[in-house]
Structure formats: C-alpha cells, structure tokens
Chains A and B, each alone.
Chain A
Amino acid sequence: DAGVIQSPRHEVTEMGQEVTLRCKPISGHDYLFWYRQTMMRGLELLIYFNNNVPIDDSGMPEDRFSAKMPNASFSTLKIQPSEPRDSAVYFCASNPFPGGTQYFGPGTRLTVL
C-alpha cells in the first residue's frame, strides 16, 4: 500500500487566496483525520471523518476553514481566505477502526505570505 497520500507537499500563496489541500487515505480505512502542526501549538486535531461523515469539527479554527470527504478515497481541507497565521504543516491521517493505529501522510507545508 502507498500509505496516506497528500498533495501538494508544499504550497506558497498570498494572503487572501484560497488554498485547497488534498488527502487520499489508506484503502479500507474508515477514519480520516486532519491535523495542523506549528512550533507554537504542536500538533492539533482540526476535524475527523468516519465513513465520509464529519464527526467532530470542534478543532477547526474559524469559518475560513472547511473540510469535505466526498468519497472514501478523497478528502479536502480548504482555507478561504488564507491568512499568514495559517502557515503550518497540515497532516492527514487515517485508521481502519477505533482500535487501529493512526497512519500519517507526509504533510503539506503551507506558507501564506
């Protein structure tokens, strides 16, 4: 298996632009998580899905952030409009069931100028 796939790996954009991050979980994994990592705050859970349904989005910082999972093999995290404080590494992770290990993707390094 290729593991969790994220794209792009790096994104540089200007303040006010829309940013879309993409994730393909491991096939057969029913849970998908989006995390954000910064030096100041560490790794924070933003939102997670079970069987494509958002279960808990309490970690989403603002209405500028939205996430979708239209099918079992694809999820997006969108920021519109982006701000410099959104600069971070965004990770996607998946696991097969509540007792399973979370597998992380390589992350998307976002820089908002």
Chain B
Amino acid sequence: QKEVEQDPGPLSVPEGAIVSLNCTYSNSAFQYFMWYRQYSRKGPELLMYTYSSGNKEDGRFTAQVDKSSKYISLFIRDSQPSDSATYLCAMSARSGGGADGLTFGKGTHLIIQP
C-alpha cells in the first residue's frame, strides 16, 4: 500500500459545481497536510495548509482533515474554469515538511466545464 492514495481522475464538473477532492494515507505520524495546485507545465503552488484534524476555510476553498480515518479532503465552491488543474495532496510528519520533505499523492486532474 502506498503511503498516500489519491484518485488520478480526470474529474470533470460543470462550472459553479461544488468539487470534492480526497486523499487517504497510511502513516499515522503525518500531522501537517497541504493541498497544492499544479497547472499544466508549471510547478505546484500551495493552496491550503492545515495542522492535525479539523477544517480550514480560505475563500472558495475548504480543507478538511480526519486523522482518525486518515482521510483528507479539499472542497471547492462555485468552481470556475480557472480552477482546472491538477490538485496534489501532500503531508508531512513535521511542520511544512521543512525537515524531511513532503509525501505527495499522485494528483487529481480536475476539469471545470464552462
């Protein structure tokens, strides 16, 4: 079993829909959870950063962590065509992954249809 599992998609939804992206993981030492967005032929950029269990909201984006289930989610409300990208979950046992890097999911390719 891989440490982080993420459905690669593609996931195609109409503009304005609520999008739910998910990852599961096996390493109970992970405490820091991130979502990165990667546009085609670009580097990943950080979207959301959460610590331990709970929810965090930033504009149209909500990140949710359930450590008991080893399951994290990213919700996108009022999705826009500009949200079309690959979304990668990432996690670390240390803050920001600064001391030991990040373990990434393979990414979910999201397509928002106008």
In this complex, the interface size class of chain A, counting residues with CB under 8 Å from chain B, is 20 to 34
Judge whether B42 and A95 touch: CB under 8 Å. no
Q: Which residues of A contact B59 (CB under 8 A)?
A: none
Judge whether A56 and B44 touch: CB under 8 Å. no
Judge whether B42 and A45 touch: CB under 8 Å. no
* Majority secondary structure of chain A interface residues (helix, strand, loop or mixed): strand
Q: Which residues of A contact B98 (CB under 8 A)?
A: 31, 95, 97-100, 102
A92 to chain B, nearest CB (A): 9
Judge whether B43 and A105 touch: CB under 8 Å. yes
Chain B residues proximal to chain A, CB less than 8 Å:
36, 41-46, 49, 88, 94-107
* Majority secondary structure of chain B interface residues (helix, strand, loop or mixed): loop
Binary per-residue interface labels of chain A (74-106) against chain B in the complex, 1 for a CB within 8 Å, 0 otherwise: 000000000000000001010101111111111
Judge whether B97 and A102 touch: CB under 8 Å. yes
Chosen A-B contacts, 17 in total, with CB atoms closer than 8 Å, are A31-B98, A31-B99, A42-B105, A42-B106, A43-B107, A55-B99, A55-B100, A93-B43, A95-B96, A95-B98, A98-B99, A99-B98, A101-B46, A104-B45, A105-B43, A107-B42, A107-B43
Judge whether A99 and B42 touch: CB under 8 Å. no
B49 touches which one: A42, A101, A106 (CB < 8 A)? A101
B42 to chain A, nearest CB (A): 6
Q: Which residues of B contact A56 (CB under 8 A)?
A: 100-101
Interface positions of A from 47 to 91, Cβ below 8 Å from B: 48, 50, 55-56, 59, 91
Q: Which residues of B contact A44 (CB under 8 A)?
A: 104
